[in-house]
Amino acid sequence: MLAIVCPGQGAQKPGFLSPWLELPGAREALGALSEAGEVDLETHGTVSDADTIRDTAIAQPLLVAAGILAADALAAQPTDESAAGAVAPGAFAAATPADLLAGHSVGEVTASALAGVLSAADAMRLVAVRSRAMATAAAAEETSMAAVVGGVREEVLAAIEAAGLTPANINSAAQVVAAGSAAGVAALGENPPARARVIPLQVAGAFHTPYMAGAREELAAFAPQFSPADPSRPLVSNAGGESITDGARYLELIVQQVASPVDWQACMATFAARGVTGILEVNPAGTLTGLAKRELKGVGLQNLNSPEDLEAARAFVAEHAGAATDGSASDGAER
């Protein structure tokens, strides 16, 4: 059984789209996504520096487009022109070579396009509004986020609450991201939970907390213009790892998620319960497979970061997609 996962904000790196634009059809596909998202994805994915693409209004559309581009290339077949294949817009949504799909934070917008809940263009329109609204909300007050790694979960949550913060991301058994006022994050760093490290994150604000209420309201006002389809494969939601087969419900949860915690640990628990044997992370990959490597022992892992990874990724899909759900697992190697 194969889960394909889509990373969230912070995974982007300068120049990470450059190799993808060498594929036939990629530049045209990216241009269409740029038009829908109202952002110059080619420039930001190839030449913009780290500070530029850290901007929420740029980072989020860039991540969604990168995931869609990589997935469509994965679903395409090699051609005489290109051994890696070409980028055929909509190819992944039409084929859906996965048993489950999930995304972390803004990665849920990517997943909505890969599952056919939204068209690629509509996903880009949605993330454009989401990213601008969250950037505006983040600028209203001085807020921040920090990863708390290690410690005892109950003690970690108690320390976060004592600092006046919110557990915004439950990423794994060993990692919780705290968010809230910059002063509160600083205080947590000065007085960390026992046997835990507090690592400040380079983000623009306290995402997935009540500080984002205004952004959630703006997105909720925009979302009704879409007509979501039911997903071609179940989507595992950040809202407690719920398995979603209703497109309208998934869109509703995407809106709510802006100001609500992301529970990726629950998503991984759902993968385990469903008997997932392989997890493939789309570009820019490594964050979610890294969490799975520690949390889901024995599950095969595959990163899809460049066209050079396509051959191995297609073999990985063929190995795991539609596998028996008897709990059998592969050797757990990350590729």
Distances (CA, A) of 288 to 50, 95, 171, 303: 20, 23, 9, 9
Question: Is the N-terminal amide bond of 228 cis, ω within 30° of 0?
Answer: no
- Residues in a beta bridge with 163: none
Question: Is 320:277 a contact under the CB 8 Å cutoff?
Answer: yes
Angle between helices 310-320 and 56-75 (to 10 degrees): 70
Chain centroid to CA 135: how far? 18
- The answer to whether residue 105 is catalytic is yes
For 261, the token pair is: 């915690």
Which two tokens mark 334? 């990350």
Task: Please name the helix (run of DSSP H) or strand (run of DSSP E) that holds residue 169, with its range, or none.
Answer: strand 166-172
- Strand 300-303 vs strand 196-200: parallel, antiparallel, or unpaired? unpaired
Contact present, 11 and 284 (Cβ < 8 Å): yes
Is 44 assigned a catalytic role?
no
In the set 48, 105, 112, 260, the catalytic residue is 105
Tokens of 157: 């949550």
> Using alpha carbons only, what angle is made at residue 3 by residues 98 and 175, rounded to the nearest 5 degrees?
160
Q: Which of 208, 232, 260, 320 is catalytic?
A: 208
Closest CA to 71 of 23, 110, 27: 110
Structure tokens at 248: 């309208």
Catalytic residues: 105, 208
